[in-house]
Structure 1
């Protein structure tokens, strides 16, 4: 009997030990690298290679300029006229439009991994799907007929091409399909291309009746913004839902955050409920800019804050502004030359 009691006592003690271990499963967050908590600002630069750079702003507010060069002093430069970067789980892909190359780095440490320079001609935007990266290319700029996708095998960075044959700009992945905005500022196409990365072919083209410049998916609906229109596409049917909403001329930079649609017109930011049927007439905020071509050059809404990048004179360091979603200026940050976007890590 004593042996039996001793056995149960040992069993009870063991259960306490196991319970104490399992209750502490939420161990402290382990850092993935120096840049795993914050955002990157892509500074496209100009025709001088040394003017392109990446700025990092940590969640604590610290600012580091020219991150790539700091981490990789011996690596080749990023190239000029940087386009938006994109991510997979562990890597960041930095596109240089004029150098026709993509620099691959670890997204958390920013250590150089590879350079991709084949099957690229004026690369624009990228996304990841089906274990590969897909980058839109503007071709010779004069016609959309030669626009194509660069398909990148992420295991060895080999490339191939897929024909699109219409002006191809911004690209996003949703439910393992790729959606490509046709037109924007460089052509007169008025549609969205749906590309299937499994078959490596265009699946369908959705006609809009206006020139798209930005889009975002939310709950199975693709919201597409043009200069004077906002349309909704049901991704289950690839059909435009209802009649597009009339928006002020010059509208761009569509973002969706917390069931609100944000967009910009000149130096103003507008916000509207995601289910609104009429566009707002009064802006949420405006900011002052002396830039001829760089007003609202970069824009994002994330985690309760609005981020604006001003292109400045495209020759010297410029500014990024952080606002609350009620329109209050929280911070002004000096970044690099021609900041064109924010990317959250």
Structure 2
């Protein structure tokens, strides 16, 4: 009996000691975790990269996932890249002492070509189709962008493009035949593609067979795609595929058309035609009384018009009633459009640039009526011998883009897309070599917003 009492007493002592130790054990700490967006961007283009890092308790291990799928990354830094458009959820989990905590954020992926600069290439008309070169906001160049997106080609001698409601419309002079009538394998005279991804959404060739060397396109809506050819202006309905000549539009010039106030403004010798939606006749013909060399939309919706002749001018026209707001004489440099199909002027705000389709660039401040010489591209750019279509000013940065080639023949493959910054002393901020093939023009996605 005594032994039993002693044993029972020992058990109570051990139990008491054990309870005392449990009361003093520290609780296991759950790790703290914070997901940091390094670039502070919540939207990114396809194939581009966002960087994330994690802040967590020392000694933690990490796992990353995207939309609930393990990203197979254990590092504290995660590079997010996706081709899938739309919203995605990035999550990081931290593990320490078998305790888990997580943090997440949402990011959006948009099409690779939504923001940036397009250079449309005619191509060599007898040997190849047109093509599209894309320069991203970061300066990354994608050659043959349309072909890479679709595995098929643009039409022969691509001439102009227009972006409307997230669709890009590209017109080609010859479609599926070249200048001498030989057949070419391509997507036809008018191609419609997603403006973010360049995936083809529509292609038209036989429907436009009556057109003779079409050169320009502007869009009011899907039922009013206005195409300019050697006969004048046509209204094409992409839904019904009906093509209608716009009466009174004969003589429309081989120059870029612009849209303002849901109306199209198109140069026509000494006049500017106005075309409204669903109308089979021009609505107005503004008489400039001198050859129009450029029609450009102002950032306030009004219209810039340049003309050559005895007294070259740059005029600003009211887009509502077509009245003259103001006209400035141009006594230095030339506002000629040259042989190309792009306007002789380009504008950002109150500042306009022109070069007369040459390498000497001039700047005109409209409100002040002053014009000054900025630079001769030849002094900064090697092989800038022939300007192929006119300069264009970036609507956000104010930088001026100039396309040049070394010479005709096979020397067109030696070329430059030169970017000039005129915020201070003239400087060459970028120069992209040997990416173009007879460039038909420079187009900024931001211009179509």
TM > 0.5 fold call: yes
Q: Assess if the C-alpha contact under 8 Å between 1:299 and 1:309 holds in 2.
A: no
In structure 1, stretches of 5+ residues that fail to align are 1-24, 139-146, 183-188
Q: Assess if the C-alpha contact under 8 Å between 1:309 and 1:340 holds in 2.
A: no
Match of 1:160 among 234, 239, 244: 244
How much does 1:198 deviate?
3.7
How much does 1:208 deviate?
0.8
* Pairing 1:166-245 to 2, within 5 Å after superposition: 166-169=251-254, 170-182=256-268, 189-218=269-298, 219-227=300-308, 228-245=312-329
Q: Which residue of 2 aligns with 1:313?
A: 407
Q: Which residue of 2 aligns with 1:341?
A: 441
Q: Which residue of 1 aligns with 2:199?
A: 111
Q: Which residue of 1 aligns with 2:422?
A: 325
| Alignment size in residue pairs | 303
Q: Assess if the C-alpha contact under 8 Å between 2:301 and 2:319 holds in 1.
A: yes
TM-score, normalised on structure 1?
0.79
Deviations 1:77-103 (A, max 9, x none): 323221121111121111111337112
Local SS of the residue matching 2:146? helix
- Distance in 1 (CA, whole Å) between partners of 2:331 and 2:405 is 24
Is 2:180 the counterpart of 1:80? Answer: no
Per the alignment, do residues 197 and 88 of structure 1 end up closer, same or farther by CA in structure 2, a change over 3 Å counting?
same
Local SS of the residue matching 1:84? strand
TM-score, normalised on structure 2?
0.62
Q: Assess if the C-alpha contact under 8 Å between 1:232 and 1:241 holds in 2.
A: yes
Match of 1:254 among 325, 341, 345: 345
Per the alignment, do residues 325 and 221 of structure 1 end up closer, same or farther by CA in structure 2, a change over 3 Å counting?
same
In structure 2, stretches of 5+ residues that fail to align are 1-41, 44-86, 88-105, 177-188, 337-343
Q: Which residue of 2 aligns with 1:30?
A: 108
How much does 1:66 deviate?
0.8
With a CA cutoff of 8 Å and minimum separation of 6, indicate the structure with the bigger relative contact order: 1
Q: Assess if the C-alpha contact under 8 Å between 2:117 and 2:134 holds in 1.
A: yes
Local SS of the residue matching 1:68? helix
Deviations 1:18-66 (A, max 9, x none): xxxxxxx998663332222322111112223426321111112211111
How much does 1:323 deviate?
1.5
How much does 1:231 deviate?
2.1
Q: Assess if the C-alpha contact under 8 Å between 1:126 and 1:172 holds in 2.
A: no
- Distance in 1 (CA, whole Å) between partners of 2:252 and 2:140 is 39
Q: Assess if the C-alpha contact under 8 Å between 1:41 and 1:342 holds in 2.
A: yes
Q: Which residue of 2 aligns with 1:13?
A: none
Is 2:364 the counterpart of 1:286? Answer: no
- Distance in 2 (CA, whole Å) between partners of 1:86 and 1:158 is 20
Q: Assess if the C-alpha contact under 8 Å between 1:52 and 1:336 holds in 2.
A: no
- Distance in 1 (CA, whole Å) between partners of 2:374 and 2:283 is 39
Local SS of the residue matching 2:226? strand
Per the alignment, do residues 273 and 176 of structure 1 end up closer, same or farther by CA in structure 2, a change over 3 Å counting?
same
- Distance in 1 (CA, whole Å) between partners of 2:166 and 2:120 is 18
Structure with max Cα Rg:
2
